[in-house]
Amino acid sequence: MSMASLPSTDRQTMTPATLYDQLTSQLLGLLADERDFIANAANFSSLLYHSLPDVNWAGFYLLKEGELVLGPFQGKPACIRIALGKGVCGTAAERRQTLLVDNVHDFPGHIACDSESNSEIVVPLVDGDRLLGVLDVDSPTHARFTEEDAQGLNDLVEIFLAASVRLVT
Ligand code: SME
């Protein structure tokens, strides 16, 4: 597996559509020969952290015995356990719905792991009717994430789940 690297200035000026097209190719390359969930989640979080402009945390919380537990991530150390329905992650998980939060300080019950975070996007990981956890990405910039990010990240999550969880047919 080899991963093309781009100067960060290119990523910052690129349209979201082009950026997510590149991320799709890179993720497909990273996951091509591997189905281990944790290994693939670790590389996926690294890809996002190093490729998305203006993010300070990218990673996973995984559902274990009814609560979210910190999984592979990039960024500063984070809180370890989040109850379903709590914070942005627990709310997105409980609703099984992508949440875009422009200002985390206005979100009731937001859990502050890194004081630099000001906006956040959380995408649930759902396999059929089974909730597996969430993908969480944070930014120091208010309203950093758009509907294009929501669509792009949902598409990448589908690729990750197809490669790491779902039965190959
Ligand atoms: N802010 C999240 C907690 C996880 S950290 O951002 C990594 C929340 O409110 O659920």
By alpha-carbon position, which residue is closest to atom 5 of ligand 1? 113
For the stretch 122-150, pLDDT in tens is: 999 999 999 999 999 999 999 999 999 99
For ligand 1, atom 3, name the residue with the nearest CA: 111
Q: Please state, in angstroms and rounded to a whole number, the distance separating the CA atoms of residues 65 and 81.
A: 11
Task: Look at the block and give the residue holding tokens 């690297």.
Answer: 5
Report pLDDT for 94.
98
Question: What string of H, E and C letters represents the secondary structure of 73-128?
Answer: EEECCCCCEEECCCHHHHHHHHHCCCEEECCHHHCCCCCCCCCCCCEEEEEEEEEC
Sign of CA dihedral 10, 6, 148, 81: negative
Architecture of domain 8-164: 2-Layer Sandwich (3.30)
Closest ligand 1 atom number to CA of residue 75:
7
CB-based contacts of 21: which residues, under 8 Å, 6+ apart?
A: none
Q: Is the pLDDT of residue 2 over 70?
A: no
For residue 169, is pLDDT > 70? Answer: no
Residue 109 confidence (pLDDT) above 70: yes
Q: What is the pTM of this model?
A: 0.93
Ligand 1 proximal residues by C-beta, below 6 Å? 57, 78-79, 82, 87-90, 110-111, 113, 117, 120, 136, 138
Give the whole-angstrom CA distance, residue 70 versus residue 66. 13
For the CA of 61, the closest atom of ligand 1 is 4
Residue 13 binned pLDDT confidence (cut-offs 50, 70, 90): confident
Ligand 1 centroid vs 11 CA: distance in angstroms? 25
Map out the domains of the chain as residue ranges. 8-164
For residue 108, give every residue at least 6 positions away whose Cβ sits within 8 Å of its Cβ, in sequence order, or none.
none
